[in-house]
Amino acid sequence: MGLPFTAEQFFGVFADYNRAFIVAVVALWVASVGILAHVSRDPSRRSPRLSLFLGVLWLWNAVVYHAFFFTRINPAAWLFAGLFLVQAVLFLWAATQRRIEYFSSTGWTRTIGVGLIGYALLYPFLTIAFGHRYPAAPTFGVPCPTDILTIGALLTSRGRVPAGLAVVPVIWGMIGGSAAVLLTVPTDYVLLGAGVLLATLLIGRCVHRTIAPQ
């Protein structure tokens, strides 16, 4: 499988993004740390605020990264913008329903979820540590760390992962993770694994419903 752009063009998009929005990048990172800490202290009451924040983060990706920057080198970015917009609306709707309680699951899914959240927050520093020179490096408020953060948050929620909120993150996990292999972005290999894990949980849920006695 080939890509309609070169690695130089791809990282050039990040350079343009970081030069234009470095203040917003830092603000989104600080806000992410703040809202995650805030919700984790009282998940039962504060979880809708994290859904709201994730909705805003996916909307930022749809409009600013995909539509404004990535479409310059990849026409498919318009489709990606649409996917991210749908996910933003789903999270904004979820914030009004108060059905998701983050940081409330137990067992291995919570452990992995918290690990993915931590990884997403470290992501900007890891990309530079792996040899990508700033500003031509993925930082924060771009699709892959956003998806890793989202999958991590969903895995910490009580009960089964909401299928409607998980489909787009799984799709992007496959798209972004596959592109990471082609473009040699080691920090995004985790995204591919996270997407596969979330897809496996969803498939297992469907199989369980199918074979469970009525």
Write out pLDDT tens, residues 41-84. 999 999 999 999 999 999 999 999 999 999 999 999 999 999 99
Residue 147 carries which side chain, given as an amino acid letter? D
* pLDDT at residue 209 tops 60: no
**pLDDT at residue 86, as a whole number:** 98
**pLDDT at residue 157, as a whole number:** 92
2, part of any domain: no
Q: What is the mean pLDDT of residues 123-140?
A: 94
Residues whose CB falls within 8 Å of the CB of residue 199, separated by 6 or more in sequence, listed in order: 170, 173, 174
Q: What is the mean pLDDT of residues 84-105?
A: 94
32, part of any domain: yes
Q: What is the mean pLDDT of residues 170-183?
A: 93
pTM for this predicted structure = 0.94
Comparing 14-23, 61-70, 161-170, 199-208, the range with the smallest average pLDDT is 199-208
Average pLDDT of the chain to the nearest whole number: 92
182, part of any domain: yes
Q: What is the mean pLDDT of residues 166-192?
A: 93
Tell me: the pLDDT tens digits for 2-41? 789 999 999 999 999 999 999 999 999 999 999 999 999 9
1, part of any domain: no
Residue 195 carries which side chain, given as an amino acid letter? G
Distance CA 184, CA 179 (A): 8
* pLDDT at residue 213 tops 60: no
Tell me how crowded residue 211 is: count the other CB atoms within 10 A of its CB: 7
- Residues 2/74, Cβ–Cβ less than 8 Å: no
**Total count of domains within the chain:** 1
Domain that holds residue 202: 7-211
Comparing 9-23, 79-93, 95-109, 113-127, the range with the smallest average pLDDT is 95-109
Angle between helices 108-129 and 7-40 (to 10 degrees): 140
Read off the pLDDT band of 207 (50, 70, 90). low
Read off the pLDDT band of 113 (50, 70, 90). very high
**pLDDT at residue 1, as a whole number:** 53
Burial of 154 (0-12, 13-18, 19+ CB in 10 A): buried
